[in-house]
Copies of this chain bind each other. A is one copy, B any other.
């Protein structure tokens, strides 16, 4: 994302929700919070209590502004659970899902503001009509209305690739063992099958099953070397049962 991303909350009634949104912003790398007609945010109260580390910056740095300021200053995205069903009204249609929004904002140079509305009624039609795009979190048809703080969390989570340089996860999310290590394990497995007198006619099939299990699991190097070591140890003892006695005499 070339431009900036900020969040605005319009007419929130519950300080805790403002704190929850501030925390999600901090978790997903967004720092500018605008509040339109906010509740009082007592530093000893729920907003700060719910904000986690965002109590140190996002929340105290939040700016109280008019709705007009958002419209004039930003490419605005109005977030709503309730969309129109078709093109007969443009107020809440067409809309984008958060994932589609992430894709579409990725290549755009625009200072964008995600606008969230009140706890009970969300953004009004008059407000949405003045915003540039509509975003809606897909949820169950029976009960699609997420809590304000949870809706903001989902949208910010989906936009994280635009706002975060690094996540807490290691770069390579999964250190898979090398093919050579894995093939070595299968060799050891075959030796093991021989040592436990697994019927010769079944060995290939059983090895294939083992290959399928590990093939799906993408084992790490350590997992493979541990498994291989266990099989090697078993085969060693099966090939030299006299060592079993020595072992137990240790």
A residues neighboring B (CB under 8 Å): 20, 23-24, 26-29, 50, 52-53, 81-83, 85-88, 90, 93-95, 97, 136-147, 149-150, 153-154, 157, 160, 164-170, 173-175, 218, 220-223
Question: Do A175 and B86 form a contact, CB below 8 Å, given A150-B24, A168-B81, A168-B138?
Answer: yes
Inter-chain contacts of A169 with B (CB < 8 A): 83, 95, 97, 136, 138
The reply to whether B87 and A52 contact each other, CB–CB distance below 8 Å, is no
The reply to whether B168 and A83 contact each other, CB–CB distance below 8 Å, is yes
The reply to whether B140 and A168 contact each other, CB–CB distance below 8 Å, is yes
Option from B24, B149, B167, B220 in Cβ contact (under 8 Å) with A138? B167
| Identity of the chain B residue whose Cβ is nearest the Cβ of A157 in the assembled complex | B154
A221-B88 Cα distance, complex, nearest whole Å: 9
A15-B199 Cα distance, complex, nearest whole Å: 58
Q: Beyond A83-B169, A157-B157: 14 further Cβ-contacts under 8 Å?
A: A20-B147, A23-B147, A28-B139, A29-B142, A52-B145, A53-B143, A83-B170, A86-B175, A87-B222, A138-B164, A139-B167, A141-B165, A141-B167, A149-B150
Q: Determine how close the nearest CB of chain B comes to the CB of A155; give it in whole angstroms.
A: 10
Inter-chain contacts of A221 with B (CB < 8 A): 87
The reply to whether A150 and B87 contact each other, CB–CB distance below 8 Å, is no
Q: Determine how close the nearest CB of chain B comes to the CB of A162; give it in whole angstroms.
A: 12
Pick 25 A–B contacts, CB within 8 A, sort by A: A27-B140, A27-B144, A27-B145, A27-B146, A28-B140, A29-B142, A52-B143, A81-B168, A83-B170, A85-B170, A87-B220, A87-B221, A95-B169, A97-B169, A138-B169, A139-B164, A139-B167, A140-B164, A140-B166, A140-B168, A141-B168, A144-B167, A144-B168, A153-B153, A153-B154
Q: Which 6 A-B pairs have the closest CB atoms?
A: A144-B168, A87-B220, A138-B167, A141-B166, A87-B222, A150-B153
A88-B226 Cα distance, complex, nearest whole Å: 11
The reply to whether A87 and B136 contact each other, CB–CB distance below 8 Å, is no
Inter-chain contacts of A50 with B (CB < 8 A): 147
